[in-house]
Amino acid sequence: MMDVLLQKMEVYARQHQVPIINAGGREVFRQVLRQKRPHRILEIGTAIGYSALLAVSEGAADAEVITLELDAERAALAAAYIDRSPYAGRIHLRLGDAGVLLPQLPTGFDFVFMDAAKGQYPDYWRKIQPLLSPEAIVAADNVLFRGYVRGADKPPRRYKTIVKRLREYLALVQAAPGFVTDIYENGDGLAVSRRIHV
Ligand code: SAH
Ligand code: MG
């Protein structure tokens, strides 16, 4: 049932150019979720609800998701898709700017999927710190942004700030005490930061 719904969403995303997590990224995303089986998931950037549904279906049996989306039209579409799934009661969609919503959230998330405005990742990272459980994992999508983040080629002007901020994000997570970060090149790049105890 989920497979059919997810496939329909993939078709919609392709036809309407909605940037849902791509096939390469999905593979790592699924793997991390299966290993972790998180209970309380925070998603920053819902789009049409694809990764939220993937996360809840690959999470623990009691997994719940709070997901944040700025665009009302996309959020409405996400709500409609989520209503067609078995997880309607477990995905809580909040409309607004993540930078504003994050400080208002409850604490205790054991998995965060960061996938909204790429230029805001350093800000999101700082704002989620008080919300994380002691063994949280933070997965950030698109961190290699079309090869420009670690590549030798200069990014086009319109991507300059995004690329700069994503480099800043990678430096920030790699230097963060109490975290170990793996950067997967699959898809558009996924940075997986795991909180560790020392
Ligand atoms: N996670 C989704 C894809 C998200 S695409 C998936 O993989 O299925 C990124 C989304 O972030 C877009 O829908 C965009 O509207 C949203 N977004 C951009 N800036 C935002 C902000 N400041 N606050 C909340 N959402 C934002
Ligand atoms: Mg993405």
pLDDT at 151: 84
> How far is CA 105 from each of CA 57, 59, 131, 150, rounded to the nearest angstrom?
22, 20, 8, 33
pLDDT per residue as tens digits for the range 30-49: 999 999 999 999 999 999 99
Give the pLDDT band (50/70/90) at residue 181. Answer: very high
Q: Compute, in angstroms, the gap from residue 20 CA to the centroid of ligand 2.
A: 6
pLDDT at 105: 98
Q: Compute, in angstroms, the gap from residue 117 CA to the centroid of ligand 2.
A: 9
pLDDT at 198: 66
Pocket of ligand 1 (CB under 6 A): 19-21, 45, 47, 50-51, 68-71, 74, 97-99, 115-117
Q: What percent of the chain has pLDDT over 90?
A: 96
- CB crowding 97-117: b at 16 or more within 10 Å, else e: ebbebbeebeeebbbbbbbbb
Nearest CA to ligand 1 atom 12: 47
pLDDT per residue as tens digits for the range 147-160: 999 988 889 999 99
pLDDT at 1: 74
Number of domains in the chain: 1
Residue 62 is encoded by which pair of tokens? 């009691």
What's the CATH code of the domain at 63? 3.40.50.150
Q: What is the mean pLDDT of residues 91-112?
A: 98
pLDDT at 175: 97
Q: Compute, in angstroms, the gap from residue 138 CA to the centroid of ligand 1.
A: 16
Q: What is the mean pLDDT of the chain?
A: 96
103 pLDDT exceeds 70?
Answer: yes
Q: Which ligand does the CA of 71 lie closest to? A: 1
Q: What is the mean pLDDT of residues 88-110?
A: 98
Beta strands in the chain (DSSP E): 40-44, 64-69, 91-95, 109-114, 132-141, 179-184, 190-195
- For residue 43, the ligand 1 atom closest to its alpha carbon is 1
89 pLDDT exceeds 90?
Answer: yes
pTM of the model: 0.97
Which residues form the domain of 12?
A: 2-195
